[in-house]
Amino acid sequence: MAFDIEMIKEVYARFPERIAAARKAVGRPLTLTEKILYAHLTEGPATQAYKRGASYVDFQPDRVAMQDATAQMALLQFMQAGRDKVAVPSTVHCDHLIQAEIGAEKDLNKAKDKNREVYDFLASVSNKYGIGFWKPGAGIIHQVVLENYAFPGGMMIGTDSHTPNAGGLGMIAIGVGGADACDVMAGLAWELKFPKLIGVKLTGKMSGWTSAKDVILKVAGILTVKGGTGAIVEYFGEGARSLSATGKGTICNMGAEIGATTSIFGYDQKSAAYFQGTGRADVAAMADEIAEHLTGDAEVYAAPEKYFDQVIEINLSELEPHVNGPFTPDLAWPISKFAAAVKENGWPAKLDVGLIGSCTNSSYEDISRAASLAQQAVDKKLVAKSEYTITPGSEQVRYTVERDGFLDTFGKMGGVVLANACGPCIGQWARHGAEKQEKNSIITSFNRNFAKRADGNPNTHAFVASPEIVTALAIAGDLTFNPLVDSLTNSEGNAVKLDEPSGLELPNKGFAVEDAGYQSPAEDGSKVSVIVDPASDRLQLLDSFAAWEGTDLKGLKLLIKAKGKCTTDHISMAGPWLKYRGHLDNISNNMLIGAVNYYNESTNSVKNQLTGAYGEVPATQREYKAQGIGSIVVGDENYGEGSSREHAAMEPRFLGVRAILVKSFARIHETNLKKQGMLALTFANPADYDLIQEDDSIDILGLTEFAPGKALEIVLNHKDGSQDTISANHTYNEGQIEWFKAGSALNLIKAKA
């Protein structure tokens, strides 16, 4: 597969001039983030200093990466864009549709058969439009991108919220919805509000049980799930330079859990070693030539408080291993305090399953360190008390760790190797007994642990930790076990203690693979046919959304007033629904079924204002749509956090919801709503959320004068005849208002084509 060397040369050729112009325009030293952003402006060298968190800016990314679940809708949209070929290097990765149940080989074969129609569609549409295609079993998108495509100083967008994984190699990599990907593949500029900057200074050096995962678990505890919203997190300092390239990828990957736009590390010797180890020595050589531009200016790192909006400092020499959770990735516990927290909160101390791998922690280093503990268990005659699974991140990693004996070591401990795919991390886990909804605990090296995410059981207490800690706790079978200080009783009745884990950043014999699983696209795709069966329940060609009717919106019914956390998992669940990601009508039957109704504390139960009866959310909305009645969804803080899935925006749009009114939005979801021609509004006064009543009929006024920075008026018509009038803010600019008027951003693209 191509490493896009010519494209990288073009990017690096413009760096010195662009960065010099940007430094002059800003009038001060630059952070690494600013250098890369300014180098990717569509209008050439910077001519102004953009206001952080306020100015919308057009960029031209270097590449697009899509995972199979979101690629379906992205490419169905791209097929309408009127282009013969993608304008930038793009890839599709088949990692989301493989369900974990028995083991790698059987699960993969089952997935290939079950999802054949979708895989054939993705392979053919990729072949037609010049897109690289990574087959099922090739690996998880972010690990494959790190091994093959990420490069320092580049800019990539991807249809997955953990796209920032590539920031470990110095790339501005941002998760987006399929509509954004469609724009970039069609050759259009990509718009982003110029981010705020958070600097994380790492000092010291890790040792013992501490790993890179603990850095981001600590940061998540500091910033919470929304503390990074609208910001890019830039890591620097001697501690940053001491981390492996894949460890940096882990940290950047989980930056999505704090709401960050992306996270990034500068180019250094660890980066160069990884490029050389993955067959890309030429990339390292090119980066070495402009190394001064692939890190922040020295003056910035000498006085970071002057150049970042917020600065956090972490001493790696003092950092403890952490365990975060349950039910949210920002509830951070140092290992020394975790056992007490388990007991005080009444969480199930018995550990049922430990799971390592995923896109976050599936590198050679991660697996080798976990395997060192598995070997200890065998040598010290310890029998693992919990189930234990291993998910390799790519076929290259899987093949190499099998060659080096690590998979055999896990097998001796009782571990089960799963397919090179997302699996349990995204709910693709046929966990036996989960349907009983019993209270239990699991611990993973994944990135998210929202309720029901892994196995569909709301009573599964999911915790997140490093692969090393997960492995140690799985051996113990007890969440109150602290491997740093506690002993275990082996099969001979002796007390034994686990030694510190050890591993290698890169394999001594180099990486190896027989078939990486890559399909190159046709040179000329004009004769390639993309066939979608009209009778399919998995794939459905798209129809254009209707343009705005040119009037204010009146008489909207309240569909649901969501209470508390409402992630994209709540709005559009994954798991068994993944099979419908290419069929908008069918997947719309999961719309908001996980959201908690403020009025009855139930999920998937809302009042139908036409009948007065309570029913399922999608069915109720379909009745409104059949009657030609629009509706509105009201939500709480950070609405739409989590996955980048644009289905969470397309489903309400398709079923006739006209507006989403919340206290605050997560970045990606707000953009996705705008792209689909929805109104994404926030309460000017968050306390007005309390004024919304269950039987309200709602008017949105001021749309005929819709303009940037101008609030809209919301009239709440209550059942008793009274009214409340409140103000709603928005962040639409002129271009985004045109999306709304046209009915969607795609409608504008088609019109131009």
Cite the active site residues: 95-96, 160, 448, 643, 645
Give 690's strand partners.
none
CA–CA dist 246, 365 (Å, integer): 8
Tokens of 179: 């509509």
Q: What are phi and psi of 479, to 5 degrees?
A: -70, -20
* 8 A C-beta contact, residue 617 and residue 542: no
- The Cα-based distances of 171 to 164, 460, 738 in angstroms read 8, 35, 31
3-state secondary structure of 584: helix
Give 56's strand partners.
193
Tell me the CB-side half-sphere exposure of residue 353, using CA atoms within 13 A.
22
The separation between CA 508 and the C-alpha centre of its own chain, rounded to angstroms, equals 32
- Strand blocks (E) in 139-230: 155-158, 172-175, 190-193, 196-203
Tokens of 601: 């504390």
The DSSP symbol for 96 reads: S
The DSSP symbol for 350 reads: B
* 8 A C-beta contact, residue 743 and residue 677: yes
Would you report the helix, strand and coil content of the chain in percent, each value rounded to 5?
Answer: 40, 20, 40
The DSSP symbol for 382 reads: P
3-state secondary structure of 11: helix
* 8 A C-beta contact, residue 219 and residue 312: yes
CA–CA dist 641, 260 (Å, integer): 11
CA–CA dist 296, 36 (Å, integer): 10
- Strand blocks (E) in 130-236: 132-134, 155-158, 172-175, 190-193, 196-203, 231-236
CA–CA dist 638, 648 (Å, integer): 14
The amino acid sitting at 752 is: K
- The Cα-based distances of 538 to 114, 120, 186 in angstroms read 11, 12, 25
* 8 A C-beta contact, residue 475 and residue 488: yes
* 8 A C-beta contact, residue 244 and residue 45: no
Angle, helices 269-277/245-253, rounded to nearest 10 degrees:
100
The separation between CA 648 and the C-alpha centre of its own chain, rounded to angstroms, equals 14
**Which of 365, 371, 251 lies closest to 314, judged by CA?**
251
Tokens of 148: 């093959």
Tokens of 722: 């009274």
**Rounded-to-10 torsion of CA 70, 428, 474, 259:** 30
- The Cα-based distances of 11 to 35, 63, 598 in angstroms read 12, 11, 50
- The Cα-based distances of 6 to 9, 11, 290 in angstroms read 5, 9, 16
The DSSP symbol for 475 reads: H
* 8 A C-beta contact, residue 88 and residue 61: yes
Alpha helices in 477-613 (DSSP H): 568-571, 584-587
Q: How many CB atoms lie within 10 A of CB 289?
A: 11
**Residue 564, exposed/middle/buried by CB under 10 A (0-12, 13-18, 19+)?**
exposed
Q: What is the largest CA-CA distance in the chain?
A: 79
CA–CA dist 519, 516 (Å, integer): 9
Q: What are phi and psi of 715, to 5 degrees?
A: -105, 120
